[in-house]
Amino acid sequence: MKTIVQIKEEHQNKLSALFDSLGIFFAFSNEQFEEGRKEGVKYANGGQGMLIPIDNVKEYVRRFSELEKDTEAEFAKHIPMDDYILYELNNHEAFYTWCTDDAYEVVKYRYPNCTPDDMKRVFKQFSNS
């Protein structure tokens, strides 16, 4: 069985390899753009500083979608939803803030069947109330 950390690390490594193979880079200033760009290549703005060679946008979308599906399958295979809920509740410090909203958004992305009641149930189970 894989852990959450292992699955996330594998995902990140595959994502980095995808970026490298398609010439995707991140720039947050003109200087960084000039350092990262290739001469004669036009770039599309992928959001949050991501720059994708225009010729590779469709391939990026296709491969990123596949990667996300594969990662989702890994979570479903190895990590019970309640364990992931607890992980994200801790990651978002919900037991300090008593707010589960941010954690819920992340859990819902990986486990589309997760409900606010699932979050409340796990939160209540592990909180000191």
Taking only the tens place, the pLDDT of each residue in 78-117 is 999 999 999 999 999 999 999 999 999 999 999 999 999 9
The pLDDT score that the predictor gives to residue 129 is: 61
The pLDDT score that the predictor gives to residue 65 is: 96
Task: Return the domain boundaries, the chain.
Answer: 1-79, 80-129
The pLDDT score that the predictor gives to residue 128 is: 76
Classify residue 78 by burial, with Cβ atoms within 10 Å: 0-12, 13-18, 19+. middle
Please state, rounded to an integer, the average pLDDT across all residues of the chain: 96
Whether the predicted pLDDT of 77 surpasses 80:
yes
Q: Report how far apart the first and last C-alpha atoms of the chain are (Å, whole number).
A: 32
